[in-house]
């Protein structure tokens, strides 16, 4: 597979990465097969996180016997304090069975409060700096769901790469994040290349992303068939057609301004409603059997029925969504589809 330079890290990474969230649902044996298939097809960049259940352990098992220098391993730590960060890093190294992690990221710097805690004296960033000096981490990085906050952190010069949502619907990064990453020579990992499962056309999703040089999409992969399909799309390198562009515009109109970015800035909800899960329930209904969709998001829809329209979520949503109204719409749509 074609490799691309990952910013000032000078690492040469595969044109797409292997996202480690979905293998949480696979058995150890199946996860190992999927990861090794991806590596065999030329994917050398694997991205996961400490909080993704046993994803790190499964990756660690899959990469046993593979030359470490042939792989680029990325993971993430959710911690704010240095002490907690150090424990998380050591756990990640042990789970993965490696001596160092190539790209280690502060996981989802989503608020100013989290940013301030990470960079405060005794904060997690001190731990990350020391880990780089000690050789446990090769390059410092971070992920975020906030364009303004991500830009501010990027400009600090403290990090070698950034990971943020980017797909043909959630495309805010196109105007500012991508040009800034190029200006600063930072690597860019495109989180949620298929909208966290809401976009079901892989061909369209990846042909859209591959038009941006140096951007590395990070799809969550759960099946060997998915790996083969995505690698095939990447290797064909077919540009978007006029019809593709029309379809993208149609889908943008369909999703409209009520697109939930799953940043969860709206939380906590006084009623305990998992708002982003409820707002994106339609994706589960498209991707899974009715029984599995019910198990996954049915409880979120039931909690959405308890919304008291207090508006607390709306004051925190950076996209100014009318969340109580949207929750009602999602509940009605769910009931219509399930016959409730």
The string of DSSP letters for 174-242 reads: GTTHHHHHHHHT-EEEEE-TTGGGT---HHHHHHHHTTSTTEEE--B--SHHHHHHHHHHHHH-PPPPH
* CB distance 100 to 81 below 8 Å: no
Q: Which residues of the chain have pLDDT under 50?
A: none
What phi, psi does 77 have (nearest 5°)? -120, 135
User: What confidence score (pLDDT) does residue 262 get?
Assistant: 73
- Reference 142, options 78, 217, 59; nearest CA is 78
User: What confidence score (pLDDT) does residue 230 get?
Assistant: 96
Instruction: Tally the C-alpha atoms within 13 A of residue 257's C-alpha that lie toward its C-beta.
Output: 7
pTM of the model: 0.84
The span from the CA of 142 to the CA of 76, in Å, is 8
β-pairing, 12-14 with 101-106? unpaired
- Residue with the two structure tokens 């991806």: 38
User: What confidence score (pLDDT) does residue 145 get?
Assistant: 85
User: What confidence score (pLDDT) does residue 287 get?
Assistant: 57
Alpha carbon distances (Å) from 130 to 69, 77, 239: 22, 15, 43
The span from the CA of 86 to the CA of 88, in Å, is 5
Alpha carbon distances (Å) from 224 to 22, 32, 37, 214, 265: 12, 10, 7, 25, 34
User: What confidence score (pLDDT) does residue 339 get?
Assistant: 72
User: What confidence score (pLDDT) does residue 340 get?
Assistant: 64
* CB distance 190 to 177 below 8 Å: no
């Amino acid at each position: 597979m074609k490799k691309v330079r990952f910013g000032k890290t000078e690492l040469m990474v595969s044109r797409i990465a292997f996202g480690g969230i979905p293998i949480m649902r696979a058995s150890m044996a199946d996860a190992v097969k999927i990861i090794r298939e991806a590596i065999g097809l030329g994917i050398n960049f694997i991205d996961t996180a400490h909080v993704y259940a046993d994803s790190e352990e499964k990756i660690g098992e899959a990469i046993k016997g593979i030359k470490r220098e042939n792989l680029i391993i990325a993971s993430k730590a959710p911690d704010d304090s240095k002490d907690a960060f150090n424990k998380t890093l050591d756990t990640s190294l042990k789970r993965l069975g490696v001596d160092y992690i190539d790209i280690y990221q502060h996981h989802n710097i989503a608020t100013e409060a989290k940013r301030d805690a990470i960079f405060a004296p005794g904060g997690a960033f001190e731990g990350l700096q020391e880990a780089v000096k000690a050789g446990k981490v090769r390059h410092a990085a971070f992920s975020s769901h906030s364009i303004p906050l991500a830009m501010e952190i990027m400009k600090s010069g403290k990090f070698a790469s950034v990971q943020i949502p980017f797909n043909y619907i959630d495309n805010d990064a196109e105007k500012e994040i991508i040009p800034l990453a190029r200006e600063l020579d930072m690597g860019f990992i495109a989180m949620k290349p298929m909208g966290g499962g809401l976009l079901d056309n892989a061909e369209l999703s990846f042909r859209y992303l591959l038009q941006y040089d140096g951007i590395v999409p990070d799809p969550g992969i759960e099946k060997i068939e998915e790996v083969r399909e995505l690698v095939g799309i990447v290797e064909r390198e077919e540009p978007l057609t006029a019809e593709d562009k029309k379809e993208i515009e149609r889908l943008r109109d369909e999703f409209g301004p009520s697109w939930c970015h799953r940043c969860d800035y709206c939380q906590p909800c006084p009623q305990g409603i998992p708002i982003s899960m409820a707002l994106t329930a339609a994706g589960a209904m498209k991707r899974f059997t009715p029984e599995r969709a019910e198990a996954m998001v049915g409880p979120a829809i039931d909690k959405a029925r308890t919304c008291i329209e207090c508006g607390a979520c709306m004051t925190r949503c950076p996209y100014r969504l009318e969340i109580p109204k949207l929750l009602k719409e999602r509940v009605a749509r769910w009931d219509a589809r399930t016959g409730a």
